[in-house]
Every structure is written in structure tokens, then in C-alpha cells.
Amino acid sequence: MATVLLTGATGYIASHTWLALWAAGFDVVGVDDFRNSSPQVLERLAELGGRTPVFERADVGDAAAVNALLDRHRIDATVHFAALKAVGESAEVPLAYYRNNLGGLFTVCEALRARRIGRFVFSSSATVYGEPERLPLVETSRVGATSPYGRTKLMGEQILGDLATADAGWQNAILRYFNPVGAHASGRIGEDPRGTPNNLMPYVSQVAVGRRASLSVWGNDYDTPDGTGVRDYIHVCDLAEGHVAAVQRLLDAPGSFTVNLGTGRGHSVLDVVAAFAAASGRAIPYEIRPRRPGDVAACWADPGLAEQLLGWRATRDLASMCADAWRWQSHNPNGYDT
């Protein structure tokens, strides 16, 4: 059975991917330095998976640590999640974003290349498309990220593309995530942002549970059906299964690919508020505020290429995303520190 290295392994998407890989029969070696996640995740994974997670605490920017752990474990493929991900913060501290996101990528790729471990899955983002020219977004749509965070993802894709061109033994699966939300159906793992959430669903969850008074809706004058921003929200468990399919494809077939991981459906901010209120039975007070700088009106995927290449598509709807996010939030009102 193949073993998959997960960097940033105790983060939100990675922890769900860890469980999905186990469920598909893979072994996993996880690496994280807990700078943005909790060690509690490992206990929850052990409980849900019925096995002990193999875990190494390390910073992926630390070449000696990465090389040492690769000497200890036999790895067949890597899923590289480790990165900083706050769009707004990236504009305030761009060097930290370039250093972490690109420096970590270099360190991990160099260590893997030295060992000829060439199957590499990269966490990219729909943010690489910037302002969409037309919808839905296809993988050949024009790219042009508008934040330092987005540019670290776009540059990461380009660096990996150059690597695959130069090295016949290197294969990339570049996964452009749309808006991951929800939680594992058990309610035992989920998204646990530090401080005030930047993203819509965790903010709405914290309003529903009473941790925050009201949601600010960033603009209701967009050219969308109800004037609020439209996004392609995807259940984190669907996204996790997309990673498993991508790893399997790298093992089964030569070559590299870039795919959107989305549902193909857009929902507005007010759709999310209504769906979350229905799922939780709680009121979600909100106020309309000015647009948030850098936001686009609407963004959704054409997920057809992922279905064609990977035999994968998202199956969980917005009601299930909200129900699962609410189960996680209501059972763990303070996240992993509950």
C-alpha cells in the first residue's frame, strides 16, 4: 500500500484528507509545526480512524528537519498543504507569505527530488484566476492573482510546472480549490480559525453559536441575483476525496495535470446565511457593509475536467455543508480548545 506525505497535516483540509486517505487504504505520514493548528487534531484522527497517526513535528521550511524525516519514512507521493492562507494578512506582510509559501515549497521539493519521489499534489486556489473573464472558470481561463497570497499560489504552480518540464520523473497534480466549507460528519474535526475568522462560513458559524453578535455582509450591490457575492462552496469531505483521487491518478498514470475542485454551483452570501439558519435553527443577524477590497462579484468552477481525469465529483450540497459545519461548531464552540 502506498504511503502519502501530508505537509500542513493538522490543518483544516489536510486533516479531512488524512481520514479520506486512510479510508481509501493509504498509509499517511503527517508533518506540521502547529503554527496554525492544534495537536488535538491528532487525537481526534486516532479516534475516528481507529489507528495511531504517524506524525512528525517540523517546519517545512527547515531543510534539515525535512530531510531527516524523509530518511525515516518511505514515501510514494506528497500532498503539500503547508502554507499561510489569509488573503488580507498577505497584503500586510507579503515577505512572510513569499518566504513561507515559496520557501516551504522549495525545501520540500528539493528534498523529494533528491530521493526521486516525484508525485506531488499542490494545494492551489481559485484565487489564481483573479477577476473572472467569464463563468464558469475552466482550467485554461486567464490567471492573474490579485493578492500576495494568490501570487504565492500562482508562482507555486509555475515553479512546479518548470520542475515537471525539466524532470521526467516529476509529476504534478495542481488542485485549484474553490471555497472549502463544512466539517467531517462526526463533528469531531473541522475548521478552527485563530482569532476573528476572515471567511464567511466560520464567521456565520460563530454568529450562530453566539460567539459573535452579527455578520458583516461585504456588499449587496454586486451584479448577482441578490446583490451579494457568489461563490462555489465545496464540502471539505468532497475536497478531501478529490485529493485521494488525485494521488491515485498520479500512481496510475504518467504526466501532470491541473484541475478545479468545485461543485459547479454558485451560492450568494445571503443563500449561505439562509441555509445556515435552517441547518442550525438559529437566527443569523447580519448588517450590510461596504464591499471588501479585492473581492470579485462571482466565482464558480467548471468541475468537468476533474470528473474526466479523476472520476471525481462533489456530491454534498449546501444544506449538508451547513449541517456538518454546525455540528462541528455546536459540539466544539471554542474549536479544539473546547
Neighbours of 253 (CB within 10 A): 10
- CA dist 133 and 2 (Å) reads 40
Q: How far apart are CA 253 and CA 314, in angstroms?
A: 22
Q: Is 294 left (phi over 0), alpha (psi -120 to 50) or beta?
A: left
Beta carbon of residue 316, minimum distance to ligand UDP (angstroms, whole number): 17
Scan residues 234-273 and list those touching ligand UDP (CB under 6 A). Answer: 269
Rg, Å, the chain Cα set: 19
Out of 16, 151, 231, 313, point to the residue binding ligand UDP (CB under 6 A): 231
Q: Name the one range near ligand UDP by CB under 6 A: 212-220, 255-263, 304-312, 321-329.
A: 212-220
CB of 197 to ligand UDP, least distance (A): 7
Check binding of 89 to ligand UDP (CB under 6 A): no
Q: Does 203 bind ligand UDP (CB under 6 A)?
A: yes
Stretch that binds ligand UDP, among 35-43, 51-59, 211-219, 237-245 (CB under 6 A): 211-219
Is residue 223 within 8 Å of residue 297, measured between CB atoms?
yes
Q: Specify the residue, 128 or 247, whose C-beta has the smaller distance to ligand UDP.
A: 128
Please report, as residue ranges, which positions from 274 to 333 form the binding site for ligand UDP (by CB under 6 A).
292, 295
149 is catalytic: yes
First to last CA, the chain: 36
Total residue count of the chain as it appears in this document: 338
Nearest by Cα to 81 from 111, 114, 120: 120
Query: x-or-dash pattern for ligand UDP, window 136-175, by CB under 6 A?
Result: ----------------------------------------
According to the binding rule CB under 6 A, does residue 198 interact with ligand UDP?
yes
Determine if 211 is a binding residue for ligand UDP (CB under 6 A): no
The residue whose Cβ lies closest to ligand UDP is: 229
Closest to ligand UDP by CB, 43 vs 226, is 226
Nearer to ligand UDP, 39 or 290 (CB): 290
SS3 at position 234: strand
Q: Express the helix, strand and coil content of the chain in percent, nearest 5 each.
A: 45, 20, 40
User: Which residue reads 525535512 in cell numbers?
Assistant: 66
Containing H/E element for 45?
helix 40-49
DSSP secondary structure, 144-180, as one string = ---SHHHHHHHHHHHHHHHHHHH-TT-EEEEEEE-EE
Q: How many CB atoms within 10 Å of residue 235?
A: 26
Segment near ligand UDP (CB under 6 A), from 19-27, 102-110, 196-204, 306-314? 196-204
Asked if residue 199 binds ligand UDP (CB under 6 A), the reply is yes
C-alpha cell at 306: 476533474
Nearest to ligand UDP of 68, 319 (CB atom): 319
- Closest to ligand UDP by CB, 200 vs 301, is 200
CA 305-175-77 angle, to 5 degrees, is 110
Identify the active-site residue in 97, 129, 149, 177.
149
Q: Which of 200, 250, 275, 279 binds ligand UDP (CB under 6 A)?
A: 200
Q: Which stretches of the chain bind ligand UDP, using CB under 6 A?
A: 179, 198-200, 203, 215-218, 229, 231, 269, 292, 295
Catalytic residues: 149
